[in-house]
């Protein structure tokens, strides 16, 4: 496996290579076929739009998150352990050191990034409002209700795509009480009062969400 496309960045005065986009359905499918279906066969419940426990469903999975996706879309309905298992497999396949980003690294990469309120990112827009009767959605249109294919929108200053919008991303940190894991940024469900690019949200580590995915970092230095 060659793994996802990477871009070299500077973090804490060290070089690291970060996946240019969120890990896609196609990327995840390669791991699933090679190892995931054996090691992670018991699938987590996947919650719809970050709702409560009653929004979860065993029928909703990364292969069927509740809306149509192609291999070019960001994988969702994966829990924290899935994301870690993918990085461990990629490390074994390539002989390189892959892991999730830390929250600090993620914030550094997302700093000084436009919040996407002009619909130049995939957020809760007018189409989302029509689908879900959301009063706090943006009035503009970004071209999609749910996830968009990665790299549809312009990259940020670091060359990374979708650091704003599309899906929130699991990182390695836990929240203040360490009873949840953090997901960073904004996603297709983020309304106009939730647009901070560096925001973090605590989620149950053993649960998937159809608005949360991840990207990976390869250590160089």
Q: How many CB atoms lie within 10 A of CB 107?
A: 17
* Torsional sign, CA 199, 202, 206, 209: negative
Per the CB < 8 A criterion, the answer to whether 187 and 146 are in contact is: no
Q: What is the pLDDT of residue 116?
A: 97
Say yes or no to pLDDT of 3 above 90: no
- Tallying the residues shown for the chain, one arrives at 221
Per the CB < 8 A criterion, the answer to whether 111 and 198 are in contact is: yes
Q: What is the pLDDT of residue 141?
A: 98
Q: What is the pLDDT of residue 1?
A: 55
Q: What is the pLDDT of residue 2?
A: 73
Number of alpha carbons in the 13 Å side-chain half-sphere of residue 140:
10
Instruction: Report DSSP letters for 138-158, one per residue.
Output: -SS--S-SS---TT-SPP-TT
Angle at 114 between CA 109 and CA 117, to 5 degrees: 135
Q: Closest Cα partner for 142 from 157, 151, 152, 133?
A: 152
Q: What is the pLDDT of residue 140?
A: 98
Q: What is the pLDDT of residue 149?
A: 98
Measured CA distances, 130 to 63, 69, 80, 144 (Å): 25, 20, 31, 12
Taking the mean position of all CA atoms in its chain, how far away is CA 22?
6
Q: Closest Cα partner for 56 from 69, 37, 68, 43?
A: 43
% of the chain surpassing 90 pLDDT: 94
Distance CA 157, CA 166 (A): 18
Which band of pLDDT confidence, cut at 50, 70 and 90, is reported for residue 196? very high
Q: Closest Cα partner for 158 from 24, 12, 11?
A: 11
Distance CA 57, CA 114 (A): 34
Say whether pTM exceeds 0.75.
yes
pLDDT digits (tens, 9 = 90+) for 155-172: 999 999 999 999 999 999
Contacts of 78 (CB under 8 A, 6+ apart): 28, 62, 86, 170, 208, 212, 213, 214
């Amino acid at each position: 496996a060659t793994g996802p496309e990477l871009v070299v960045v500077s973090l804490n005065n060290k070089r690291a290579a970060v996946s240019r986009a969120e890990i896609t359905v196609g990327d995840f499918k390669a791991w699933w076929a090679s190892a995931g279906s054996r090691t992670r066969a018991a699938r987590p419940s996947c919650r719809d739009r970050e709702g409560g426990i009653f929004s979860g469903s065993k029928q909703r999975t990364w292969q069927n998150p509740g809306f149509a996706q192609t291999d070019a879309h960001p994988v969702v309905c994966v829990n924290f352990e899935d994301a870690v298992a993918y990085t461990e497999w990629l490390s074994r396949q390539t002989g390189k050191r892959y892991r999730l980003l830390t929250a600090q690294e993620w914030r550094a990469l997302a700093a000084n990034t436009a919040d996407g309120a002009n619909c130049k990112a995939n957020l809760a827009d007018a189409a989302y409002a029509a689908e879900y009767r959301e009063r706090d959605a943006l009035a503009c249109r970004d071209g999609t209700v749910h996830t968009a294919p990665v790299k549809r929108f312009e990259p940020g200053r670091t060359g990374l795509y979708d650091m704003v919008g599309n899906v929130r991303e699991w990182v390695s940190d836990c929240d203040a009480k360490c009873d949840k894991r953090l997901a960073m940024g904004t996603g297709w469900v983020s309304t106009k009062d939730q647009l901070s690019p560096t925001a973090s949200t605590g989620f149950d580590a053993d649960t998937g969400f159809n608005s949360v995915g991840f990207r990976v970092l390869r250590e160089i230095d």
